[in-house]
Amino acid sequence: MKTEVASHAATALYGDKTKTGAENEPNPTTRTTICGASGTTAGTQAGKSIKADLLCTCAKKSAGVDNVCCAKCDPGSANWNSAAASPNHWRPLLANCPSHAPTMTLSTANIDFALSQFLALISKKQGTTNNKQYILGTLDDAGTGGCDGSGGAVSGICVQYNSKITGDTVTPEIDCMSAARRAAEAADKVAERNKRVEQLERELRILNTTLGAQIHHKASDSGTSDRSTPTTQNQAANKSENNCNKHNNKTADECTKLGCDHDAENKKCKPKAGTESTAAATAGDGAAGTTNSEAKKCSEKKTQGDKQNFAWRKGKDNEYFKGTEKCRSYSYL
């Protein structure tokens, strides 16, 4: 997009996107031909580029007609009298423009304002009979001498634009105005893109901050969850153990359907291998002071009264749930 802006800007300034202003043009050998032959005949280079128009209205023709546009707008004593002299006369004009007019951001709003001011300036009729319109600069008297760069009675330092009639409307034909508008439209696109990029950057920063906070919060939650895992596992193991141990007089197929192993000797179901040991280990932890509710209750029981009546231990040969840790009467220890 920036390339598009530069391309249209070069066309407005120099008449072609490939030009830089250093070219030996336009050729002022016959100044009235390129700038304006008379009050009614437009110049061949009028409106083709900003460079040509400013040279016609500012460049020095001869001694006595100096620095027409500003105090430092002429390159010394040289005259604009050949194509080779064009770059030297253009450089001081280009350098002094920013200090003689406000510098504004390139946009369609600003370019439309500037062009409206320009059109109002050139639309004022000039000459003794007020019949010369679309002239930038000054054309004296009848203007029959054209824009020759002198201060003669019927001449002027100016540029004469061609006019176009469409129905009842008369407008000047100025090519560089169209190129300037296209440059401004491209600049608007660049500004809009930059605005979107800045907005996306802000949103990404917010998203990054939010994700960081969520990750930190999740890590804290995971730590809490991990600390509660033993109790959860213990409860699940006890539930599985109790469910299997309560099924007596069952066949192997029936125990399998219940999610248990089969105790062939006692013809009953039993917890699957691994489940019982996990529950027992967890239960043991509970007896040592974990959050296991059954172990805690047993601990409270055995401290009641003067004697220790209960203990958390495995069942003996003559007790129910042999080999399984439970809260049992202390008398069997």
| Domain range list for the chain | 2-189, 230-332
Q: What is the pLDDT of residue 152?
A: 80
SS3 readout for the chain: CHHHHHHHHHHHHHCCCCCCCCCCCCCCCCHHHHHECCCCCECCCCCCCHHHHHHHHHCCCCCCCCCCCCCCCCCCCCCCCCHHHHHHHHHHHHHHHHHHCCCCCCCHHHHHHHHHHHHHHHCCCECCCCCECCEEEEECCCCCCECCCCCCCCEEEEEECEEEEECCEEEEECHHHHHHHHHHHHHHHHHHHHHHHHHHHHHHHHHHHHHHHHHHHHHHHHHHHHHHHHHHHHHHHHHHHHHHHCCECCCHHHHHHCCCEEECCCCEEECCCCHHHHHHHHHHHHHCCCCCHHHHHHHHHHCCCCCCCEEEEEECCCCCCECCEEEEEHHHC
Look up residue 217 and give its two tokens: 């919060």
Q: What is the pLDDT of residue 7?
A: 95
Sequence letter at residue 128: T
Q: How far apart are CA 32 and CA 82, in angstroms?
A: 13
Beta-strand pair 156-160/162-166: unpaired
What pTM, to 2 d.p., does this model score?
0.61
Q: What is the pLDDT of residue 86?
A: 96
Q: What is the pLDDT of residue 207?
A: 86
pLDDT average per 10 residues of sequence, the chain (333 residues)? 92 96 94 89 95 95 84 88 95 90 90 95 84 87 87 88 91 95 96 89 86 75 53 58 78 85 84 59 42 62 55 68 68 50
Q: What is the pLDDT of residue 175?
A: 96
Q: How far apart are CA 98 and CA 94, in angstroms?
A: 8
Q: What is the pLDDT of residue 137?
A: 92
Q: How far apart are CA 19 and CA 11, in angstroms?
A: 8
Sequence-ordered list of residues with C-beta below 8 angstroms from that of 333, at least 6 positions apart, any chain: 311, 313
CA distances from 263 to 220, 244, 251, 260 (A): 45, 10, 9, 10
